Chains A and B, each alone.
Chain A
């Protein structure tokens, strides 16, 4: 069985970001980028499944500019067997990514597709779900535990939902998105980084995959959240009601 893992190159979680002066987006020039933490967890889970003997190959995929190759190299250093880089000059929204992943899945025929539950730059939490729908495959999102059954060709997944933990059984092939408590990603060791240099990364373009990238959503403006104003201490309940009614207009 082949496992496809989609990884995204995002701004590193510890970096302080700011909005570009023209409000078209976040300033990512000269900013440290790394693999999305949830994607690392997804890749780690795929590697553990391969090491347990349930899969033969782990393929890492990334969609974006040429620097995505660095992210793929990190993935290869962690243990993925090969990488696929889909060249794209600007960042796509989840539906476009899902369409690209669907085309790739048609070509590669994986038994499992792993994704992080969301990317830390846009917090969309949509791509995994959309990929499953486009492929018509079952999905198990927010996975905190994944157990595979080779004979039944299914996976038992514990999902972290608002009410607690939900256990689902999904038939393979399936899409699983990973949550924080699933595993602790491994370090890429120096010898593995050296070996990863010789692992193949296939370059593909959007034309190769015949994907329609026209988006129905256009980003109009990106602004910083309003600065927190200091609170006001009121002296009585009447004053509070007065302020809520006449100043905040919420009552």
Chain B
């Protein structure tokens, strides 16, 4: 029928213009001639005063006898606009402007001048129409017809050392002051500890403060560090050097195991921990404060349609929200950008390194529990910062890894392959021979230190742990500072909720704590390496033996990691040897050992802001670095039907390391959370 064709055509235009779903637009137009007249009257060629918002005047006020119907439709229309996820109006800045308009339609008259247009009242008045909007399947801001909302006093995103320390500290304060607060921790891993990977030589300073009796409570902290070896590696030799580390009093642990134990302690205190749920969205109120997070919808298939198992995400609201997502947390990065938290304290950008680790079970005769070995030099070249580690744990297990700073210049560098090379070094090979690999994993870590710490408090909560960045680079330890930051944030949150003080006390207590002193003293080690390996080592020696950070200047970081990559034509490709299957392995074999998996029928969680950039920029100009730095072979260039290279994203392999989010030269790759429960399943890492 010709009329339907016209309607469909108009609907397509409308859908494109306003980001509406086409079927909604069709229904609106087909059923309401007044509406289509109104749409026809919109001066599309004139930009609206505020993007996406057309004033009543521009739209034309409806005539009186149409008024009730037209208001309902307009209201539904605006609700749909504001909640459609593909709509630019979704940005909360514009939501603030929509709400007064909603209010106008709901009550039929402008709100009294005294009422704050951005207050919660404007929410409540719009509720009168929510049942009608259900008819169109519209998602209500008030979450009546859409997602369920669960409320807590404190919501913590991430069950890692920082998140769990914060939760435990909160409950301890409640016990001291004879009160209670409801605390919820959401964790994207399938189990607590499943996404936790770290060296790890653990300094128990923060744990002594948090749980002083950990020694009597079967904490998985048993192997005391007994020796500190430091080697400079060349291709064939390991030259022993005086060790810059002093790990006396520290323990060699599996951080995954420790976090599991902390999780058990947290549950004993009544903290609700929900593994298998990924926080995909930050929730804001009308005043642009953070009020919680929303978990990701589950059961959406690869093409975006809902499967029969579809479950909408849940809004988890908290009076205080703490982000403990670890290094380069996806939501934390959004918060830092939104509230300009780095600019607020003139902090520099964060710099990162990629750590690749394996846990081996070796020959009894070669095992020496407590031995700590760090190494510099080979296989990395003098211009690339990084180093390797080998720690002897118990049960014949050793933790072995390579850390490569992500500001490397040569786009042909492949950190995974460098790690495979390392295992063939005679000094390392000697230890590994006759052993088997138990697990493999990779994760980025912060190297920005003191200079990159953002202001960690925002309206509605704070950022703790590596999401803010408290790793002590020369010590290569971040667990104790992450835990302490969690504890300090918990104390500030308790004060804010119980005593009416401000979350800003978190910043003050951070600056007065040993975390600050430590990071301040360590601030010049890493930036000195901008000048090269030898100057870096020289400055490190000076700092370690003489200066200890007591200099009046603070060295600055160089370029951001993604900007530091040179063009491919300026650099030499690197030839890597083939894996031998005994000491070195190919990526699929290693990946299998990380127990990583994702439901494959879901949209890729790795988003390209511009889908053309990989083939237009990354491949020709940088030689496709993502196919080299990703330790999980997620990014592969394959030939399409015309023989042209095309980027294929194997999102199912993802180890959640965030290297792509950091290192992509045009920052085109955005790491977002996949469905909860996916990712690696580390147990001894």
Contacts and interface: CB of A to CB of B under 8 A. Distances in A.
B211 interface: no
Given A14-B595, A15-B595, A191-B314, A30 B683 contact: yes
B295 interface: yes
A243 to B, nearest CB: 26
Interface stretch (A2-10, A151-159, A181-189): A181-189
A16 B597 CA distance: 11
B109 interface: no
Contacts of A193: 274
Interface residues of B, number: 29
Interface string B399-443: 000000000000000000000000000000000000010100000
B681 interface: yes
Given A184-B309, A186-B311, A187-B309, A16 B593 contact: yes
Given A14-B595, A15-B595, A16-B592, A190 B681 contact: no
Contact of B191 (A16, A32, A191): A32
Given A185-B309, A190-B274, A32 B299 contact: no
Interface in A154-178: none
B343 to A, nearest CB: 35
Contacts of A190: 150, 274, 277, 295, 314, 316
Contacts of A34: 190
A14 B683 contact: no
Contacts of B683: 30-32
B684 interface: yes
Contacts of A203: none
A194 interface: yes
B308 A32 contact: no
Name the residue in A16, A30, A184, A190 with the highest tally of chain B Cβ atoms < 10 Å from its Cβ. A190
Nearest to B191: A32
A92 to B, nearest CB: 25
B298 A32 contact: no
Nearest to B316: A190
A217 to B, nearest CB: 30
Contacts of B190: 12, 32, 34
A18 interface: yes
Contacts of B596: 14
A232 to B, nearest CB: 19
A14 B681 CA distance: 9
A187 B257 contact: no
Interface string A1-29: 00000000000101110100000000000
Contact of A32 (B295, B592, B595): B595
B307 interface: yes
A18 B194 contact: no
Contacts of B309: 184-187
Interface of A is mostly: loop
A185 B316 CA distance: 24
A194 B150 contact: yes
A226 to B, nearest CB: 16
Contact of A12 (B298, B299, B681): B681
A12 B214 CA distance: 30
B298 A187 contact: yes
B608 to A, nearest CB: 26
Contacts of B595: 12, 14-16, 32
A184 B150 contact: no
A16 B295 CA distance: 29
A70 B134 CA distance: 37
Contact of B194 (A16, A32, A184, A188): A32
Name the residue in A15, A18, A187 with the highest tally of chain B Cβ atoms < 10 Å from its Cβ. A187
Nearest to A74: B276
B148 interface: yes
Nearest to B440: A16
A18 B683 CA distance: 14
A42 B509 CA distance: 54
Contact of B311 (A30, A184, A189): A189
Contacts of B194: 32
Contacts of A184: 307-309
Nearest to A191: B148
Interface string A33-67: 01000000000000000000000000000000000
Contact of B150 (A14, A30, A191): A191
A30 B439 CA distance: 12
The 6 closest A-B pairs by CB, nearest first: A14-B597, A30-B683, A32-B681, A15-B595, A190-B314, A187-B298
Interface of B: 148, 150, 190-191, 194, 257, 272, 274, 276-277, 295, 298-299, 307-309, 311, 314, 316, 436, 438, 592-593, 595-597, 681, 683-684
28 contacts: A12-B190, A12-B595, A12-B681, A14-B596, A15-B595, A15-B681, A16-B593, A18-B438, A30-B257, A30-B683, A30-B684, A32-B191, A32-B595, A32-B681, A34-B190, A184-B307, A184-B308, A185-B309, A187-B299, A189-B298, A189-B311, A189-B314, A190-B150, A190-B274, A190-B277, A190-B295, A191-B148, A193-B274
Given A12-B595, A14-B596, 4 more contacts: A15-B595, A32-B194, A34-B190, A193-B274
